[in-house]
Chains A and B, each alone.
Chain A
Amino acid sequence: MTGAVAHSPKLIKELQDMARQLRIDLVEMIYRRKSGHPGGSLSAADVLAALFFHQLRIDPQNPNWENRDRFILSKGHACSTLYAALARRGFFPMETLQAWGQIGCCLQGHPDRLKTPGVDMTSGCLGHGINIASGLLLAGKLKGLDYRTYVLIGDGEAQAGVLWEGAMLAGKYKLNKLITIMDYNKVQLDGRLEDIMPIEPIRQKWEAFNWSVMEIDGHNMKEILDALDKGTEAKDKPTVIIAHTIKGKGVSYMEGKSEWHGKVPNDEEFQLAMKELKTNVQAR
């Protein structure tokens, strides 16, 4: 796949490092809180690094800027990655991450737009993101604004009927400023998607709903950046980037395992995760 502009090796390296840093942050956060969803948060780290540290037109000093790009974490259970990215991008202090989940903290168990700077929409129940993004973009058209809306969905989420109501709507209104990334890690809470409820053939489903479809390796930063670039060039269709990922990516014993959807590492497991994640990255 070729993007309009070749991304420098320096940028790619920086974003790869940031993705690894987000993984360290989120595992620490989940270990500290003794609660969270490591599997699907780790699988989404590369995409979120690319969005928050390169792609999104956002300003941490002005989180409610009217013409900012919107980001909706439709798979809200991956919020540990989102919170780490928002903190490192400057929306709130890094120390806030340590209070995640405590009563009175602005960081809830799932994203809350009213409490957390930089969170554009509350989420946690699956299937909402594409419809909401569509309304946001239709409003933007009426107002003459040119912001884009990015939605990160899970793959299990594609089992929810309401998601396809949104897909149909976005196709009808040719919402070319809608870029959805599907974190296709192929594992959900109860097991493998293909056993629980297969979503294949998924590319054809999106195409049938009049979307433009790309498939990438969701852990390959160059492919992520190129796909996002290509998504912004869409003329008369919404775009979905099917990002093939690995649930629990970066922590060997979590990779591909459904039991790590919502499990917390014990002390020994935590040390092992840190050892693996900190290889090749300098903690900041």
Chain B
Amino acid sequence: MFKRDNTRKIFGDALTTYAAVNPKVVVLTADVASSVMAVAFAQKYPERFFNVGIAEAGMVDTAVGFALGGMIPFANTFAGLLIRATEQIRTCVAYANTNVKLVGSFAGLSNFKDGPTHHSIMDVAIMRAMPNMIVLVPSDSIEAKKMIPLMSEHEGPVYIRISRAEMPIIFDENHKIEIGKGQVVRDGKDVTLVANGHMLSRALEAADKLGTQGVKARVVNLSTVKPIDAELIVKCAEETRAMVTCEEHTVIAGLGSAVAEVLVKGCPVPVEMIGIADRFTETALDHDSLMDAYGMSVDEIVQAAQRVMLKQD
């Protein structure tokens, strides 16, 4: 079992720290400053903090204006509410290629208690379909923190998913990340488990279980969904001949689809996708049980690995 820490607080604090060295950073939020841990930033840099009220579409457009004015706006709200601004994001962020950083907090099922209106199961699919958009799904708090300077220094639109839950700690401060690059977190030759976000820790647990059965599973962290690390995916497919993708998201058009799109061209091998089936979720008492109930348990990853290995050539 992994120790856990408070990802959204670490992200919010890291943004405040980074703002000291990058005076172009401004933060916008839509009446969820305390929820997304933007309060520290607001207290330290009140002149660079803008609360627009419950107006997500307006927030995105205002962020666009900041970007046109040479600032680096981080627009924060719940991922499930940010999609209210999908047209703004399509037209004024992605198409106009403005330097806006979109932070979808409370992502996936991490706001388990508030139900499907507040679950975000299709944000990656929507953002990934937009030309010019970088899509980041950090797999722990260290990654979330380290992505702040990377996304700020990238000139153009970025979407980052931040969990409300305390995320398992996987990496340490020495962890090196780069936009567009995945990493082999654990080596193995029999099957590859590709994961990001909360599902990386579950993939590692599944690899442990598979290990007790004599199966050596490789685990790959793909915390950049777009641009996808096609080179690494093809290499792993060639070397292990089967793949399981694991995401806290609908299986339609998210990480699994992105991996499959690479494989059909680069190295067609059997794939199983772990994620939420094409349905809405429901309210729960905790995050982990909800993940388990909607198809993302460690055992389901193990079973998917077993199934996919039966189809290996």
- A-side residues, CB < 8 A to B, are 66, 70, 112-114, 120-122, 124-125, 128, 131-140, 142-143, 161-162, 165-166, 168-169
Q: Contacts A162-B58, A169-B55 given: A135-B91 contact, CB under 8 Å?
A: no
- B-side residues, CB < 8 A to A, are 26, 47-48, 50, 52-53, 55, 57-58, 61-71, 73, 87-88, 91-92, 95-97
> B65 near A131 (CB under 8 angstroms)?
yes
- Residues in A with CB closer than 8 Å to B57 are 131, 161-162, 165
Nearest CB in chain A to that of B64: its residue: A132
Out of B48, B62, B97, name the residue touching A142 (CB < 8 Å).
B48
| Separation of A168 and B57 alpha carbons in the complex (Å) | 13
Interface of A: prevailing SS: helix
- Residues in A with CB closer than 8 Å to B64 are 121, 128, 131-132, 135
| Separation of A137 and B64 alpha carbons in the complex (Å) | 11
> A128 near B69 (CB under 8 angstroms)?
no
Q: Contacts A122-B92, A122-B95, A168-B53 given: A136-B61 contact, CB under 8 Å?
A: no
> B63 near A135 (CB under 8 angstroms)?
yes
Out of A122, A125, A135, name the residue touching B69 (CB < 8 Å).
A135
Nearest CB in chain B to that of A167: its residue: B58
- Residues in B with CB closer than 8 Å to A168 are 53, 55, 58
| Separation of A267 and B311 alpha carbons in the complex (Å) | 67
B68 shortest CB reach to chain A, Å: 5
> B65 near A136 (CB under 8 angstroms)?
yes
> B55 near A135 (CB under 8 angstroms)?
no
> A139 near B71 (CB under 8 angstroms)?
yes
| Separation of A169 and B65 alpha carbons in the complex (Å) | 13
| Separation of A53 and B64 alpha carbons in the complex (Å) | 27
Nearest CB in chain A to that of B96: its residue: A122
> A169 near B91 (CB under 8 angstroms)?
no
> B96 near A135 (CB under 8 angstroms)?
no
B52 shortest CB reach to chain A, Å: 6
Given contacts A131-B64, A166-B58, 11 further A-B contacts (CB under 8 A): A128-B61, A131-B57, A134-B62, A135-B63, A135-B65, A137-B69, A142-B48, A143-B70, A161-B57, A165-B52, A165-B61
Report the number of A-B residue pairs with Cβ-Cβ less than 8 Å. Answer: 97
B227 shortest CB reach to chain A, Å: 20
29 contacts between A and B (CB under 8 A): A70-B68, A112-B96, A122-B92, A122-B96, A124-B91, A128-B64, A131-B61, A131-B62, A131-B64, A132-B64, A132-B92, A135-B61, A135-B63, A135-B64, A135-B69, A137-B65, A138-B50, A138-B65, A139-B68, A139-B71, A140-B69, A162-B57, A162-B58, A162-B61, A166-B61, A166-B62, A168-B58, A169-B52, A169-B58
| Separation of A120 and B64 alpha carbons in the complex (Å) | 12
B130 shortest CB reach to chain A, Å: 14
> A132 near B55 (CB under 8 angstroms)?
no
| Separation of A134 and B26 alpha carbons in the complex (Å) | 14
Out of B47, B58, B71, B91, name the residue touching A131 (CB < 8 Å).
B58
> B55 near A142 (CB under 8 angstroms)?
no
> B96 near A121 (CB under 8 angstroms)?
yes
> A138 near B69 (CB under 8 angstroms)?
yes
A135 shortest CB reach to chain B, Å: 2
Nearest CB in chain B to that of A113: its residue: B96
> B68 near A136 (CB under 8 angstroms)?
yes
Nearest CB in chain A to that of B95: its residue: A122
Most chain B CB inside 10 Å of its own CB: which residue of A66, A138, A166: A138
- Residues in B with CB closer than 8 Å to A120 are 68
- Residues in B with CB closer than 8 Å to A114 are 96-97
- Residues in A with CB closer than 8 Å to B68 are 70, 120-121, 132, 135-136, 139
> B70 near A139 (CB under 8 angstroms)?
yes
- Residues in A with CB closer than 8 Å to B52 are 165, 169
Q: Contacts A121-B96, A135-B63, A142-B71 given: A165-B58 contact, CB under 8 Å?
A: yes
| Separation of A31 and B72 alpha carbons in the complex (Å) | 42
| Separation of A136 and B26 alpha carbons in the complex (Å) | 12
> B65 near A134 (CB under 8 angstroms)?
yes
